[in-house]
Amino acid sequence: MGNYSSEELIKYINKFSEKRIMVLGDLIADKFIIADPERLSREAPVLILKHQQEKILPGGGANAAANIASLGAEVDLLGVVGEDLAAEALIEELEERQILTAGVFKDRSRPTAEKTRILAGGEQIVRQQVVRVDKVKSFDISTQLQQKLNSYLKENIASSDAILFSDYGNGIFNQNSTAQFVEAAAAAGKESAVDSRYQLNQFKGAVIATPNLEEASAIYGRELRSQAEVEKAGLEMRKKLELKYLLITQGGDGMTLFAPGDKIEHIAAANFSEVFDVTGAGDTVVGTLVLALAAGAPAEIAIRIANYAAGIVVRKSGVASVTGAELIREVNKNDS
């Protein structure tokens, strides 16, 4: 636990429900088709699956928003969807979680980004993913949509405590738009966190960024193999990207925080022995982190809270989220 008591962490977790976070990101409809294997096809050596049910869950930036809402905060979500059934199902799912969707704009020229996973297996066993089909158009959004998002952000950011930029490379963040979004957040004096898949260097000047090891290696230009290499790269990247904090997440090896004054702090992963499924764990980390910062937690405490949240979510199947009560239980359990 380092020098921080569980009471100190819980004090900030209890403030989560008073906060509102703005999330601007690439929205993805995660579609799950659940089916039972029936027999082999006569047409080809493939399984025939009998359709049982299907559901659409929030993915990409919408999953980060769902994680923050699950922790008890209000979420004002901004993004772009198509004019299609996937968009309707996704928005319905978001509204069911009390996520504000007034900033979700429709674009007739592109379908809603959709990732369809087909899961097979009977009732009694863990269902396995058989295949995934992605329907994603990643060209830049139009200038008109960019302006709509920017105006919404500027008009509404004052009522949020912090903003999260969730970039999955689907076109919301580009050479023109990203700097405008980051500047609008800075002008409003709000904490801004960035989770960017491919273009973190566009988010110069954000408060905190959370690349994983693979993303950090890509930005740095070579694979980071040891903790010493991670630390050398992190110090350089934090300065180059003009970030206040840089957090490199390292899966089973925990996470390393780079702070002003060239401070480095490494924390081990919470319960990595019980990993079941790492899907969406990055969204959980960044969502919890931005919420803890908004609640006034110093970065060193915020990363510990986020680490516990990651420790819970990897024990769950699929794209999952964590509640405030679960987080408090986890902190207490580990404070021995």
Q: Which residue, among 209, 206, 213, has the nearest Cα to 186 in the 3D structure?
A: 206
Sign of CA dihedral 220, 266, 287, 270: positive
State both tokens at 104.
């979700």
| Percent of the chain residues topping a pLDDT of 90 | 80
Residue 1 banded pLDDT, cuts 50, 70, 90: very low
pLDDT at residue 279 is higher than 70: no
User: Hey, what domains does the chain have and what are their CATH numbers?
Assistant: 6-28+59-112+137-334 (3.40.1190.20)
Helix/strand/coil for 44 = coil
Residue 253 annotated in active site? no
pLDDT at residue 320 is higher than 80: no
State both tokens at 173.
């963040």
Average pLDDT over residues 246-255: 90
Average pLDDT over residues 313-327: 81
Residue 200 is given by DSSP the state G
pLDDT at residue 158 is higher than 50: yes
DSSP per-residue codes, 245-295? EEEEE-GGG-EEEEETTTEEEEEPPTTGGG----TTHHHHHHHHHHHHHHT
pLDDT in tens, 102-157: 999 999 999 999 999 999 987 677 788 899 999 999 999 999 999 999 999 999 99
Average pLDDT, the chain: 91
Q: How far apart are CA 334 and CA 179, in angstroms?
A: 40
pLDDT in tens, 164-207: 999 999 999 998 899 999 999 999 999 999 999 889 999 999 99
Q: Which helix (H) or strand (E) holds 69?
A: helix 61-70
Residue 303 is given by DSSP the state H
Q: How far apart are CA 148 and CA 79, in angstroms?
A: 10
Q: Which helix (H) or strand (E) holds 241?
A: none
User: How confident is the model at residue 274, as a pLDDT?
Assistant: 57
Q: Which residue, among 172, 195, 186, 193, has the nearest Cα to 80 in the 3D structure?
A: 172
- 12's CB contacts (< 8 A; 6+ apart) are 292, 295, 296, 297, 301, 302, 305
pLDDT in tens, 62-98: 999 999 999 999 999 999 999 999 999 999 999 999 9
Q: Which helix (H) or strand (E) holds 115?
A: strand 113-120
Q: How far apart are CA 63 and CA 69, in angstroms?
A: 10
Q: Pick the residue with more confidence: 316 or 104? A: 104
pLDDT at residue 313 is higher than 70: yes
| Percent of the chain residues topping a pLDDT of 70 | 94
Edge-to-edge order in the sheet of strand 113-120: 47-60, 27-40, 113-120, 128-135
Residue 271 banded pLDDT, cuts 50, 70, 90: low
User: How confident is the model at residue 45, as a pLDDT?
Assistant: 93
User: How confident is the model at residue 15, as a pLDDT?
Assistant: 97
DSSP per-residue codes, 127-181? PEEEEEEEE---SPPPHHHHHHHHHHHHHHGGGSSEEEEEE-SSSSS-TTHHHHH
pLDDT at residue 272 is higher than 80: no
pLDDT at residue 277 is higher than 80: no
pLDDT at residue 2 is higher than 60: no
Residue 217 is given by DSSP the state H
Residue 273 banded pLDDT, cuts 50, 70, 90: low
- Look at the chain and count its residues: 336
Helix/strand/coil for 67 = helix
State both tokens at 246.
């840089």
Among residues 84, 134, 283, 335, the one annotated as catalytic is 283
Which amino acid appears at position 219 of this protein?
I
Residue 27 is given by DSSP the state E
- Give burial (CB, 10 Å; 0-12/13-18/19+) of 251: middle
Q: Which residue, among 2, 74, 24, 17, has the nearest Cα to 295 in the 3D structure?
A: 17
pLDDT in tens, 24-75: 999 999 999 999 999 999 999 999 999 999 999 999 999 999 999 999 999 9
